[in-house]
């Protein structure tokens, strides 16, 4: 089919207009290059429509409910009646424009870019063929570069009976008009814990079912233990080491069967949220057509400018450095800079450096992490010192009172005298992380961190306490 299309020659093709792709495509178009952006879903990607934006609106609303319930401990009396329809309305009208990407699409085309809606695949080292939404095909040859930004989709494991049932992933969850009366959350990662807590705070009876032994397995064990305690205190039931063996749905309810290797068990709930991770979409791009070898596992090899080959770039979730909007934007900035430096003689913006990638899980308490965990640092053979302090033992944590769960944990490479990782859990834990991210990124000596001035009484004051505890 592709051979029947007369190729159209342009400067750059961006395949996937998620956050990083949209950023690259828009900047290059504004610089005067002829740019085609290809998108099969919504311009802007997962984050503004199904991820970061709507989920954090839901979380913010749930946090307000939780804060109101803390009033008796701090300020007086209160009556609280949750109303999820207000959350749903705000997500639909303010957050997503009713899942309409017109504003984002016009933002790109106003810069001179051409938006093609459809599914694109590589059909040569510098060639992309798009199966357009109207049933046609268009082929583009890129003089300068192709930027791949395929993103990820919700991972849905194969379980007997699951297919065809009205289960939710994050995409359906953020489009909910009402909070279900009961829900099973299958999974224990960031999406699972964020949505489990948010729906619990709007009255949903939530049971979390984990395939492993703890929540947030990527994070420090102390993080998992604290969050599990917080969620259980809010009424969430957490079942560990369970394999989902079958699913049925009838009369508006799910019937789920599990096994832990010893005895079977079952659960019934109005809704099932599948939050078992993300599945990258790079296999659909057709790397072999560009003579790129890849075994379908992990991320393919990239150079310091995120090139798979000369003029063929890969950014975003599939690049393997972290499935975060900020990583995609960071990588997009490097790629745009490299293209502009090579072809328009602008200043180079440097190369990719992933030693201080921050991430935040927006539960209450917030969980911010940067760099290596303790186990990762030890596995890397570093001479490790660890410091930890509880947020509640800091002046600000004590003043904060109810809702002050959290801790600061810092990981030092003792030979180098710098932090290689840190975790900030607590009220505004993601904001406190910013300073720790700078410390890890810039390799600021621990001696400098110990001697600097920290404003009193802020949550940041827990950081020097953690540094004092390094051993």
**Three-state secondary-structure class, residue 375:** helix
Q: Is 194 annotated as a binding residue?
A: yes
Q: Is 189 annotated as a binding residue?
A: yes
Q: Is 188 annotated as a binding residue?
A: yes
Q: What H or E segment, with its residue span, contains residue 308?
A: strand 307-309
Ranges of beta strands (E only) in 16-95 are: 35-39
Q: Is 134 annotated as a binding residue?
A: no
Q: Is 445 annotated as a binding residue?
A: no
Ranges of beta strands (E only) in 165-286 are: 182-186, 205-209, 237-239, 243-250, 253-259, 264-269, 271-274, 278-280
Q: Is 238 annotated as a binding residue?
A: no
Instruction: Of 17, 15, 20, 14, give the one whose Cα is nearest residue 328.
Output: 20
Give whole-number Cα distances, 103 to 91, 152, 354, in Å: 16, 23, 32
Residue 116, token pair as written in the block: 């093609």
CA 322 to chain centre: 8
Residue 48, token pair as written in the block: 């503004």
Ranges of beta strands (E only) in 353-471 are: 358-361, 366-371, 384-390, 407-413, 418-426
Residue 161 backbone class (left: φ over 0; alpha: ψ -120 to 50; beta: rest) = left
Instruction: Of 107, 20, 106, give the one whose Cα is nearest residue 313.
Output: 20
Q: Is 192 annotated as a binding residue?
A: yes
Instruction: Of 228, 242, 260, 223, give the one whose Cα is nearest residue 184.
Output: 242
Are 254 and 184 within 8 A, CB to CB?
A: yes
Distance between CA atoms of 163 and 185, rounded to whole angstroms? Answer: 16
- Give the bridge partners for 366, in sequence order: 426
Calculate helix-pair angle for 190-200, 52-69, nearest 10 degrees: 40
DSSP for 118-155, please give it. EEEEEEETTEEEEEETTS-EEEEEEEEEEEE---EEE-
Q: Is 20 annotated as a binding residue?
A: no
The annotated binding site for NAD(+) is made up of: 187-194, 277
Q: Which residue ranges make up the annotated binding site for FAD?
A: 56, 120, 317
Residues flagged as binding site: 56, 120, 187-194, 277, 317
């Amino acid at each position: 089919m592709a051979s029947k299309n007369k190729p159209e020659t342009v400067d750059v093709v961006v395949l996937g207009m998620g956050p990083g792709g949209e950023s690259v495509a828009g900047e290059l178009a504004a610089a005067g290059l002829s740019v085609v952006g290809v998108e099969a879903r919504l311009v802007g990607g997962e984050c503004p429509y199904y991820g970061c934006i709507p989920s954090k609106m839901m979380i913010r609303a749930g946090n307000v409910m939780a804060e109101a319930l803390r009033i008796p401990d701090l300020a007086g009396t209160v009556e609280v009646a949750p109303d999820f329809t207000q959350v749903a309305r705000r997500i639909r009208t303010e957050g997503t424009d009713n899942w309409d990407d017109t504003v984002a699409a016009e933002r790109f085309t106003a810069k001179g870019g051409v938006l093609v809606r459809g599914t694109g695949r590589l059909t040569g080292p510098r060639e992309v063929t798009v199966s357009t939404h109207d049933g046609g095909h268009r082929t583009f040859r890129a003089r300068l570069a192709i930027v791949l930004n395929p993103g990820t989709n919700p991972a849905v494991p194969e379980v007997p009976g699951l297919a065809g049932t009205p289960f939710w992933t994050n995409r359906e969850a953020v489009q909910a008009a009402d909070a279900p009366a009961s829900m099973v959350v299958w999974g224990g990662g960031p999406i699972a814990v964020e949505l489990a807590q948010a729906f619990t705070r709007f009255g949903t009876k939530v049971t979390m079912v984990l395939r492993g032994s703890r929540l947030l397995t990527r994070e420090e064990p102390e993080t998992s233990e604290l969050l599990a305690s917080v969620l259980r205190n809010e009424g969430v039931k957490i079942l560990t080491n369970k394999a989902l063996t079958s699913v049925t749905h009838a009369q508006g309810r799910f019937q789920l069967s599990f096994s832990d290797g010893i005895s079977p068990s079952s659960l019934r709930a109005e809704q099932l949220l599948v939050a078992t991770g993300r599945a990258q979409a790079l296999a659909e791009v057709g790397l072999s057509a560009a003579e790129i070898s890849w075994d379908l596992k992990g991320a393919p090899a990239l150079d310091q400018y995120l090139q798979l080959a000369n003029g063929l770039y890969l950014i975003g979730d599939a690049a393997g450095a972290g499935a975060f909007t900020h990583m995609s934007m960071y990588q997009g900035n490097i790629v745009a800079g490299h293209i502009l430096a090579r072809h328009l003689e602008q200043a180079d913006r440097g190369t990719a450096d992933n030693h201080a990638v921050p991430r935040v899980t927006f539960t209450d308490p917030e969980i911010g992490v940067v760099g290596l965990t303790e186990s990762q640092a030890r596995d890397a053979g570093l001479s490790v010192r660890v410091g930890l302090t509880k947020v509640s033992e800091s002046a600000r944590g004590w003043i904060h009172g109810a809702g002050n769960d959290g801790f600061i944990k810092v990981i030092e490479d003792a030979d180098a005298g710098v932090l290689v990782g840190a975790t900030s859990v607590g009220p505004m834990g993601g904001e406190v992380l910013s300073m720790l991210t700078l410390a890890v990124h810039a390799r600021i000596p621990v001696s400098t961190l110990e001697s600097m001035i920290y404003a009193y009484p802020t949550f940041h004051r827990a950081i020097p306490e953690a540094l004092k505890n390094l051993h």
